[in-house]
């Protein structure tokens, strides 16, 4: 009887040593991996300086309607009459008719302000994030149109599907309290 | 008509001149200087676009607090209330919160990869992520796998689809139980070496929680649920990499699921009820002779253990090149070698690599280095898998007798079905 008691106590002690050991390892992992500065979460965003407008943002997102949309940094815009983000290279005329527009959904809105300037705005409900306008504006214009993850739509997957297929590693994680990388506010070089 | 054509011509010429100018401009010339900002006479004021902030519903600390409170409630339900209905009910609440409201992301299963990435590369994680990884493990150290039955949205979802669970043949079960080990190690190797988060990509149910999924994911998820009607919780038992960690913790847990709060009368009702074959039947104490034989077998296996580990390392090293195919850098080289030179710009990955000033030789060198790292990583994975398999073999030689039925520490997910049928509550 006494022997069995001893056996039980020994087993219990070994159990607690093992538990304490594994618990300590887990605690050490948490301490080693976590940032000291803040406990906040990270969200996905596109660095517009790295984006090559490959068009995968439109199709790779796990949501049916991609969380990536075109935004317009209007402080950078040249208000061009011939906007390379708005008109197709072979546009028959320089007006708002659908056949002249690059945007497949008509989400880029062109509004006359004063000669010779036009204002361009994005209708986010229509935008699919294909980046065709961004390509034109970046390559030939001021680059004021660019793609961003819209956080009212994004569900913040742990592993962003678009980030995984992004050919230029333009997807980065940013703190949740500063969730946009607005091109007009960023330093030019990456 | 004529003016139309003329305008068209002018437009095109203008476009191409501008295009040529823009393209010819050296890269150092900043894009913003191409067209100056106008000054308006008409009093036009530009208004900036609003940028909506992310909506998380709760602060990070609240998130953790909810997880801890939910786990505490689960422990109370499993240990004190001991009611199948309450466990199911609370599981549904958790399924709603962790699944459909928080969209199933991030979950402790996925955070394995974040934690591994952080440990190996030094990138720091938000504290909330580390805690999401650690808290369920700590709880399973204290009182078994209560996380699986109640909190985990994947588990709770599969729990609802169990209709007529079949007994799995022991050999098949043992074979299939190798898969989670492979998923865990391949997931970590891929995450650490930059091949993406495989564990997240193979999660079959997250599309259901988001209510938006690609067809293959939706079909896989429904298929798993369908299989789950006869093989209970197939994802948890034969795929979940976090389950491996929970299993290790729960093997040495302080408390475990008790089939009855009274004395077990060995009626075997719970054995028929358990959907995951987690109830261990009593076995007679061995005679000294048999015991001695068993112990000898145990010692042989102990000697055999290093051989299993070595074999695991070898297989891992061989498999490393195959696993490396998941890495975009290796995929790039394969694609690059298979396309004609004039087609190269059709592929964004090649275009992006070329734009960063790389050549195919550099890409090949990078890919070779990546394959090397994968081989090394998979070798260590092989050691880990070999060790766990060896230990599982060792556990097979059971030297101690047992008088009553008992819930298996490693397999029991605390669903509470046994509580409901026990006649001696």
CA dist., res. B157 & res. B96, Å (int): 10
Half-sphere exposure of A48 (CA within 13 A, CB side): 30
Nearest to B98, CA basis, from B139, B142, B151: B151
Taking only the tens place, the pLDDT of each residue in B161-215 is: 999 999 999 999 999 999 999 999 999 999 999 898 999 999 999 989 988 888 8
pLDDT at A37: 61
Pick the residue with more confidence: B340 or B31?
Answer: B340
Please tell me if residue A24 touches chain B, with a CB cutoff of 8 Å: no
Taking only the tens place, the pLDDT of each residue in B269-279 is: 999 999 999 99
Mean pLDDT of B356-360: 84
Average the pLDDT over each of B19-28, B102-111, B273-282 and give the range with the smallest value: B19-28
CA dist., res. B326 & res. B256, Å (int): 39
pLDDT at B92: 95
pLDDT at B293: 87
Q: Could you tell me if residue B54 is inside a domain?
A: no
List the structure tokens of B144.
Answer: 């078994």
Confidence of residue B41 (pLDDT cuts 50, 70, 90): confident
B105 and B184 together in one domain = yes
Nearest to B325, CA basis, from B356, B271, B367, B288: B367
Chain-centroid distance of CA B90 in Å reads: 23
**Residue numbers of the domain that contains B415:** 60-259+409-421
pLDDT at B12: 55
Nearest CA-CA distance, residue B8 and chain A, Å: 5
Q: Is the pLDDT of residue B6 over 50?
A: no
pLDDT at B118: 93
CA dist., res. A41 & res. B62, Å (int): 12
B223 and B78 together in one domain = yes
Nearest CA-CA distance, residue B67 and chain A, Å: 16
Q: Could you tell me if residue B319 is inside a domain?
A: yes
Pick the residue with more confidence: B18 or B225?
Answer: B225
Domain boundaries, chain A: 1-34, 42-185
Q: Which residues of B touch A22 (CB under 8 A)?
A: 141, 248-249, 252
Q: Is the pLDDT of residue A86 over 70?
A: yes
Taking only the tens place, the pLDDT of each residue in B259-304 is: 988 889 999 999 999 999 999 888 888 888 888 888 888 899 899 9
**Do A62 and B210 count as a contact with CB atoms less than 8 A apart?**
yes
**Do A119 and B44 count as a contact with CB atoms less than 8 A apart?**
yes
- Residue B16 burial (CB count, 10 A): 12
CA dist., res. A102 & res. A83, Å (int): 10
Mean pLDDT of B96-115: 91
Q: Could you tell me if residue B278 is inside a domain?
A: no
**Do A167 and B129 count as a contact with CB atoms less than 8 A apart?**
no
Confidence of residue B13 (pLDDT cuts 50, 70, 90): low
Confidence of residue A6 (pLDDT cuts 50, 70, 90): confident
Q: Which 3-state string (H, E, C) describes B104-144?
A: CCCCHHHHHHHHHHHHHHCCCECHHHHHHHHHHHHHHHHHC
Confidence of residue B7 (pLDDT cuts 50, 70, 90): low
**Do B34 and A78 count as a contact with CB atoms less than 8 A apart?**
yes
Mean pLDDT of B13-42: 60
| Beta-strand relationship, A42-46 and A145-149 | unpaired
Mean pLDDT of A159-179: 90
B217 and B341 together in one domain = no
pLDDT at B213: 82
pLDDT at A134: 96
CA dist., res. B310 & res. B101, Å (int): 46
**Do B40 and A63 count as a contact with CB atoms less than 8 A apart?**
no
Give the percent of chain A with pLDDT over 70: 96
Q: Could you tell me if residue B183 is inside a domain?
A: yes
pLDDT at B42: 86
CA dist., res. A142 & res. A80, Å (int): 10
CA dist., res. B419 & res. B425, Å (int): 7
Mean pLDDT of B210-226: 90
Average the pLDDT over each of B23-32, B219-228, B289-298, B406-415 and give the range with the smallest value: B23-32
Q: Is the pLDDT of residue B25 over 60?
A: no
- Residue B128 burial (CB count, 10 A): 23
User: Judged by CB atoms within 8 Å, which residues 93-132 of A form the interface with B?
Assistant: 93-94, 113-114, 117, 119, 121-122
B416 and B355 together in one domain = no
Please tell me if residue A148 touches chain B, with a CB cutoff of 8 Å: yes
pLDDT at B365: 93
Q: Could you tell me if residue B55 is inside a domain?
A: no
Please tell me if residue A63 touches chain B, with a CB cutoff of 8 Å: yes
Question: What is the residue-averaged pLDDT of chain A?
Answer: 90
B366 and B414 together in one domain = no
B101 and B143 together in one domain = yes
B114 and B170 together in one domain = yes
Q: Is the pLDDT of residue B27 over 70?
A: no
Taking only the tens place, the pLDDT of each residue in B61-90 is: 898 999 999 999 999 999 999 999 999 999
pLDDT at A126: 95
Q: Measure the CA angle with vertex B44, ends B41 and B47; round to 5°.
A: 150
B319 and B233 together in one domain = no
Cis peptide before B199 (omega within 30 of 0): no
Residue of chain A whose alpha carbon sits nearest to that of B46: A74
**Residues 6+ away with beta carbon under 8 Å from B138:** A23, A26, B249
In chain B the first and final C-alpha atoms are separated, in Å, by: 93
Mean pLDDT of B133-149: 93
Q: Could you tell me if residue B213 is inside a domain?
A: yes
Question: Which CA distances in Å does A174 have to A45, A73, A159, B54, B167?
Answer: 7, 19, 14, 11, 48
Average the pLDDT over each of A10-24, A154-168, B32-46, B317-331 and give the range with the smallest value: B32-46
B294 and B203 together in one domain = no
Residue of chain B whose alpha carbon sits nearest to that of A35: B124
Taking only the tens place, the pLDDT of each residue in A70-82 is: 999 998 999 999 9
CA dist., res. B147 & res. B94, Å (int): 11
- Enter the DSSP assignment of A74: G
**Which residue, chain included where needed, has tokens 């520490």?**
B409
Please tell me if residue A187 touches chain B, with a CB cutoff of 8 Å: no
Residue of chain B whose alpha carbon sits nearest to that of A90: B12
B251 and B315 together in one domain = no
Please tell me if residue A21 touches chain B, with a CB cutoff of 8 Å: no
Q: Is the pLDDT of residue B26 over 50?
A: no
B414 and B390 together in one domain = no
pLDDT at B24: 46
pLDDT at B28: 39
CA dist., res. A176 & res. A180, Å (int): 9
- Enter the DSSP assignment of A100: G
B227 and B354 together in one domain = no
Of A16, A141, A155, the CB nearest to B34: A141
The domain tally of chain B equals 2
Nearest CA-CA distance, residue B120 and chain A, Å: 10
Give the percent of chain B with pLDDT over 90: 57
**Do A23 and B12 count as a contact with CB atoms less than 8 A apart?**
no
Nearest CA-CA distance, residue A188 and chain B, Å: 7
Confidence of residue A184 (pLDDT cuts 50, 70, 90): confident
């Amino acid at each position: 009887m006494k022997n069995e008691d001893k056996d039980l106590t020994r087993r219990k002690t070994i159990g607690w040593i093992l538990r304490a050991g594994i618990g300590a390892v887990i605690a050490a992992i948490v301490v080693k991996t976590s940032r000291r500065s803040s406990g906040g979460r990270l969200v996905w965003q596109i660095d517009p300086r790295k984006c090559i407008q490959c068009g995968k943002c439109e199709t790779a997102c796990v949501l049916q309607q991609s969380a990536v949309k075109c935004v317009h940094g209007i402080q950078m815009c040249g208000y061009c009459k011939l906007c390379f983000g708005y008109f197709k290279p072979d546009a028959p005329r320089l007006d708002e008719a659908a056949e002249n527009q690059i945007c497949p959904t008509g989400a880029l809105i062109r509004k006359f302000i004063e000669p010779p300037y036009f204002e361009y705005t994005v209708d986010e409900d229509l935008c699919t994030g294909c980046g065709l306008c961004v390509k034109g504006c970046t390559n030939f214009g001021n680059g004021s149109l660019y793609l961003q993850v819209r956080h009212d739509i994004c569900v913040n997957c742990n592993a962003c599907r678009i980030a995984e297929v992004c050919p230029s590693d333009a997807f980065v994680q940013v703190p949740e309290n500063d969730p946009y990388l607005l091109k007009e506010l960023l330093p030019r070089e990456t | 008509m004529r003016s139309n054509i003329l305008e068209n011509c002018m437009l095109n010429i203008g476009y191409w001149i501008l295009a040529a100018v823009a393209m010819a401009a050296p890269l150092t010339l900043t894009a913003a200087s191409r067209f100056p900002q106008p000054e308006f006479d008409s009093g036009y004021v530009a208004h900036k676009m609003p940028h909506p902030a992310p909506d998380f519903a709760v602060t990070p600390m609240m998130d953790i607090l909810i997880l801890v409170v939910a786990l505490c409630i689960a422990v109370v339900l499993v240990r004190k209330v001991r009611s199948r209905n309450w466990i199911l009910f609370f599981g549904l609440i958790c399924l709603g919160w962790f699944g459909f409201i928080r969209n199933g992301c991030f979950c402790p299963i996925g955070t394995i990869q974040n934690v591994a990435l952080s440990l190996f590369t030094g990138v720091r994680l938000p504290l909330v992520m580390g805690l999401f990884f650690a808290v369920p493990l700590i709880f399973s150290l204290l009182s078994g796998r209560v996380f699986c039955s109640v909190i985990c949205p994947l588990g709770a979802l599969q729990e609802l689809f169990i209709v007529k669970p079949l007994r799995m043949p022991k050999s098949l079960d043992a074979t299939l139980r190798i898969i989670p080990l492979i998923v865990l190690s391949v997931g970590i190797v891929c995450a650490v070496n930059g091949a993406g988060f495989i564990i997240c990509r193979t999660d079959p149910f997250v599309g259901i929680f988001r209510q938006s999924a690609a067809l293959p994911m939706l079909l896989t998820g429904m298929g798993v649920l369908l299989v789950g009607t006869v093989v209970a919780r197939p994802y948890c038992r034969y795929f979940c990499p976090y389950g491996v960690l929970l299993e290790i913790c729960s093997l040495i847990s302080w408390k475990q699921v008790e089939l009855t709060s009274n004395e077990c009368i060995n009626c075997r009702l719970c054995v028929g009820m358990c959907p995951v074959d987690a109830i261990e039947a009593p076995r007679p104490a061995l005679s000294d002779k048999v015991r001695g034989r068993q112990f000898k077998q145990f010692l042989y296996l102990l000697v055999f253990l290093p051989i299993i580990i070595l074999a695991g390392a070898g297989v891992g090293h061989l498999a490393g090149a195959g696993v490396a195919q998941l890495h975009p850098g290796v995929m790039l080289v394969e694609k690059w070698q298979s396309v004609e030179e004039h087609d190269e710009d059709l592929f964004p990955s090649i275009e992006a690599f070329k734009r960063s000033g790389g050549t195919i030789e550099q890409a090949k060198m990078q890919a070779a280095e990546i394959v090397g790292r994968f081989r090394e990583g998979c070798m260590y994975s092989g050691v880990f898998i070999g060790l766990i398999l060896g230990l599982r073999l060792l556990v097979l030689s059971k030297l101690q007798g047992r008088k009553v039925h008992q819930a298996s520490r490693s397999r029991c997910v605390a669903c509470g079905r046994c509580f409901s049928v026990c006649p001696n509550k």
